[in-house]
Amino acid sequence: MRIGAHVSSAGGHYLVFERARAIGAEAVQLFISAPQQWKLPDPSDEQIDTFRRQQAAAGIPAFFHGVYLINFGGRDEALLGRSVASLKAYRHFAGRMGVTGTIFHVGSHLGAGFDGAMVERIARMLGEVLAAEPDNPSLLILENNAGQGNCIGGKFGELGAIIRALGGHPRVAVCLDTCHAYAMGYDMATANGCATAMEEFDREVGFGRLVAVHANDTKQPLGTFRDRHENIGEGHIGMAGFRTLMAHRAFREVPFLLEVPGFDGKGPDAKNIRRLKKIRRGLGIEAPKLPPISRLAKAR
Ligand SMILES: [Zn+2]
Ligand SMILES: [Zn+2]
């Protein structure tokens, strides 16, 4: 189990590795384009090389987070086309940059309801993204959401339906956000609640497809459908809740990626990472061995 974090890529994507290692992160998530804009990422060959060298020196896996504008649940052809193009570009560069995959939100059905026809449409578009580069090993990683508005994928069954409609494509995976699951009513903070939730996850999605956790505490009580991240131990899940869920076997080999506000309001920090590492240690779960940080400077 790795403890990682979303880290700013401002000033150069390759910088995420030294920023991650500086706060003790053992895995990293980043954007490669402005998350509120459609402008497609376009790193140069040289930037891609530097990123790969830095990643090798850091010895940690990397994940992209897709742009927030993506929506596969609507009917607006222009928006659907842009969503496909954005995910294709992210997947293309994930493959070239040695990034595990792109984590993204499926979007909102905007009140139309989530039915079989919608599942087929979403699967057709994601299938198009996958088919564009059949040999690209990078994953499309669906994230569960808080069930706010008409968002698709709050329930594990909705993610499972999309994966089944894709014929169980081997390059499709899932990221479980603990804050979103809790908002959706999955009580990840108690042993019984977590066991029940993860049974449902296994039945609908399968533990084999769980490739990342967004480790976030929450400012909101259980089942409130509100997406409000909180620092680890400061919210309704709490330290005891994280201890409970981290003890579940489904998470044993899965990287945890923080998307918390941070104790100084600047995003995931060393203190949040230390808290999760302390729980990991208490549970006797092995930590990865990482190369010395000094290698990063040499590999610029
Ligand atoms: Zn998340
Ligand atoms: Zn969230």
Residue 111: per-residue pLDDT: 82
Q: Where are the domains of the chain?
A: 3-298
Residue 112: per-residue pLDDT: 81
Residue 234: per-residue pLDDT: 98
Residue 110: per-residue pLDDT: 83
**Of the bound ligands, which one is closest to the alpha carbon of residue 182?**
2
CA–CA separation, 135 and 145 (whole Å): 29
**Ligand 2: distance of its center to the CA of 35 in Å?**
14
Residue 225: per-residue pLDDT: 94
**Ligand 1: distance of its center to the CA of 184 in Å?**
13
**Ligand 1: distance of its center to the CA of 177 in Å?**
5
Which candidate, 62, 216, 42, places its Cα nearest to that of 145? 216
**Ligand 2: distance of its center to the CA of 259 in Å?**
8
**Ligand 2: distance of its center to the CA of 108 in Å?**
14
**Of the bound ligands, which one is closest to the alpha carbon of residue 220?**
2
Residue 129: per-residue pLDDT: 98
**Of the bound ligands, which one is closest to the alpha carbon of residue 229?**
2
Residue 240: per-residue pLDDT: 97
Q: Name every residue whose Cβ is closer than 8 Å to that of residue 25 and which is 6 or more positions away in sequence.
A: 3, 4, 5, 7, 60, 258, 268, 273
**Ligand 2: distance of its center to the CA of 258 in Å?**
11
Residue 298: per-residue pLDDT: 86
Residue 281: per-residue pLDDT: 97
3-298: CATH architecture: Alpha-Beta Barrel (3.20)
**Of the bound ligands, which one is closest to the alpha carbon of residue 179?**
2
Mark the ranges of the chain whose per-residue pLDDT is less than 70.
none
**Ligand 1: distance of its center to the CA of 160 in Å?**
18
Distances (CA, A) of 186 to 47, 82, 147, 207, 222: 41, 32, 11, 16, 8
**Ligand 2: distance of its center to the CA of 183 in Å?**
10
**Of the bound ligands, which one is closest to the alpha carbon of residue 214?**
1
